């Protein structure tokens, strides 16, 4: 081949490659468009496990798109206060939020059903209901009325029952007790003489220290230890029967979510489920050491008495009767949860309960 022929053919080949590149680049850009969202959290950065759920989600989305889909995370108060996160999504102030749906139960108690309500399901049960029992779709029927699409984005596992300045053994001990306890649970314990108090997380410690309140619930050992409650209210009760396994939600502005390419929508689902699982796993790991260090610091661990638990269960059912009779949307979702709850706890009594009970006996006997 002579030199001029080679150059001519090479030129044609180069032009073809350039054309192919020009055609391919828009296709790639179209499939992975550059998008930047803002996500507001209901939590401070200091609570790395629960706040970190949003960061896990954001990081996965960014890495899977070579940085083309960026979701910037903001702590509570940086854009809007923590308890206004869902409102900010509805208004379009932000495209997303990481929050717990029961924070908004005052607008409509149906909000709480997507997260946790008294004596419902534990974390595994809640996840089973969400992912395989139709829970995600049912809750999104409700969220859609607020211009929101939601996915589970975390779970703390069963929470503790709170910190008390004095011992609580009977229902009579609850009379007149001023307790920082919110939402649904507050409505239940109010029927037993408790005076519910709404206090922001950062204000709980001084309120306990000064005696402004007698007790406070927060989350569980790892998060509770960070706030130092053991120093001012040493009686640490369990379980938090109002939060057997609270789902932390990722909420998205529905219009913005619908605008995403199909690949991005699929990724959002995948990353949300990964963040959901990761948070529960992290709490399970960290709480084990935190509970030991709290006891070493003087925490007096005690279960709520059966008298108290039974009374709370009875009053919770009264509240459910009131709500299902007046709120069809609430009833639809609650009926789905309770139908699954009955069978779920039947099954859990078989292998799970017996295995766990045996292993706990071995642990108590010093054999593990």
The pLDDT tens digits of the residues spanning 244-257 come to 999 999 999 999 99
pLDDT at 4: 44
Instruction: Decide: helix, strand or coil at residue 237.
Output: strand
Instruction: Decide: helix, strand or coil at residue 366.
Output: coil
Give 83's pLDDT tier (boundaries 50, 70, 90).
very high
Label the pairing between strands 162-164 and 215-216: antiparallel
Indicate whether 366 pLDDT > 70: yes
Reduced to 3 DSSP states, what percent helix, strand and coil does the chain have, rounded to the nearest 5? Answer: 60, 15, 30
Enumerate residues 6+ apart whose C-beta is below 8 A from 29: none
CB 179 within 8 A of CB 197: yes
Every domain of the chain and the residues it spans: 34-155+245-285, 162-244+299-324+333-359
Give 30's pLDDT tier (boundaries 50, 70, 90).
low
Average pLDDT over residues 344-364: 98
- Assign a CATH topology to domain 34-155+245-285: D-Maltodextrin-Binding Protein; domain 2 (3.40.190)
Domains 34-155+245-285 and 162-244+299-324+333-359 fall in the same CATH topology:
yes
Label the pairing between strands 300-303 and 235-238: parallel
* % of the chain with per-residue pLDDT over 70: 92
Q: Which of 28-32, 44-48, 285-289 is least confident?
A: 28-32
Average pLDDT over residues 313-319: 98
Q: Which residue has the higher pLDDT, 343 or 183?
A: 343
Which value, to the nearest 10 degrees, does the dihedral of the CA atoms of residues 363, 353, 157, 221 take? -30
CB 188 within 8 A of CB 273: no
CATH code for residues 162-244+299-324+333-359: 3.40.190.10
The sign of the CA dihedral 105, 110, 115, 119 is positive
Strands (DSSP E) contained in the chain are 35-41, 69-74, 96-99, 148-155, 162-164, 178-180, 195-197, 215-216, 235-238, 247-253, 300-303
Residues constituting the chain: 368
- Strand order of the β-sheet with 235-238 is 195-197, 178-180, 215-216, 162-164, 235-238, 300-303
pLDDT at 20: 42
pLDDT at 201: 80
CB 62 within 8 A of CB 71: yes
Tell me: the pLDDT tens digits for 86-112? 999 999 999 999 999 999 999 999 999
Max CA separation in the chain (angstroms): 104
Tell me: the pLDDT tens digits for 266-284? 999 999 999 999 999 999 9
pLDDT at 8: 43
- Count the neighbouring beta carbons within 10 Å of the beta carbon of residue 23: 9
CA distance 270 to 251: 15
pLDDT at 290: 98
Closest of 360, 211, 241 to residue 311, by C-alpha: 241
Average pLDDT over residues 60-79: 97
CB 146 within 8 A of CB 90: yes
Averaged pLDDT of the chain: 93
* % of the chain with per-residue pLDDT over 90: 89
Give 199's pLDDT tier (boundaries 50, 70, 90).
confident
Enumerate residues 6+ apart whose C-beta is below 8 A from 136: 130, 150, 151, 152
Give 31's pLDDT tier (boundaries 50, 70, 90).
confident
pLDDT at 183: 83
Enumerate residues 6+ apart whose C-beta is below 8 A from 297: 230, 231
In whole angstroms, how large is the CA radius of gyration of the chain?
25
Average pLDDT over residues 213-226: 96
CA distance 138 to 142: 7
183: left (phi over 0), alpha (psi -120 to 50) or beta: left
Average pLDDT over residues 137-150: 98
Indicate whether 71 pLDDT > 80: yes
Give 28's pLDDT tier (boundaries 50, 70, 90).
very low
Enumerate residues 6+ apart whose C-beta is below 8 A from 211: 165
């Amino acid at each position: 081949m002579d030199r001029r022929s080679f150059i001519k053919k090479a030129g044609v080949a180069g032009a073809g490659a350039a054309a192919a590149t020009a055609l391919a680049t828009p296709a790639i850009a179209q499939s992975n468009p550059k998008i930047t969202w803002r996500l507001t959290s209901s939590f401070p950065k200091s609570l790395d496990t629960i706040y970190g759920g949003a960061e896990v989600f954001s990081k996965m989305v960014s890495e899977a798109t070579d940085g083309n889909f960026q979701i910037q995370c903001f702590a509570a108060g940086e854009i809007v206060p923590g308890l206004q996160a869902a409102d900010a999504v509805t208004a379009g102030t932000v495209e997303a939020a990481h929050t717990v749906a029961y924070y908004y139960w005052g607008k409509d108690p149906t909000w709480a059903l997507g997260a946790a309500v008294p004596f419902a399901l534990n974390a595994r049960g809640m996840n089973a209901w969400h992912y395989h029992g139709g829970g995600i779709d049912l809750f999104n029927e409700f969220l859609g009325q607020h211009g929101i699409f939601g996915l589970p984005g975390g779970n703390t596992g069963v929470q503790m029952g709170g910190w008390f300045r004095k011992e609580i053994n009977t229902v009579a001990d609850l009379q007149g007790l001023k307790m920082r306890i919110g939402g649904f649970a507050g409505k239940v314990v109010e029927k037993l003489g408790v005076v519910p108090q709404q206090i922001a997380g950062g204000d709980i410690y001084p309120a306990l220290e000064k005696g402004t309140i007698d007790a406070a619930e927060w989350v569980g050992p790892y998060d509770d230890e960070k706030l130092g409650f053991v120093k001012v209210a040493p009686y640490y009760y369990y379980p938090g029967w109002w939060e057997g396994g609270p789902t932390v939600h990722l909420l998205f502005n529905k219009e913005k979510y619908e605008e995403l390419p199909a690949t991005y929508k699929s990724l959002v689902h995948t990353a949300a489920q990964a963040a959901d699982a990761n948070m529960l796993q992290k709490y399970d790991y960290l709480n084990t050491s935190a509970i030991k260090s709290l006891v070493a610091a003087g925490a007096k661990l005690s279960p709520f008495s059966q008298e108290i638990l039974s009374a709370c269960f009875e009053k919770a059912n009264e509240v459910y009767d009131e709500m299902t009779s007046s709120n069809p949307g609430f009833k639809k979702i609650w009926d789905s949860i309770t139908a699954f709850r009955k069978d779920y706890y039947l099954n859990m009594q078989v292998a799970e309960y017996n295995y766990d009970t045996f292993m706990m006996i071995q642990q108590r006997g010093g054999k593990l």
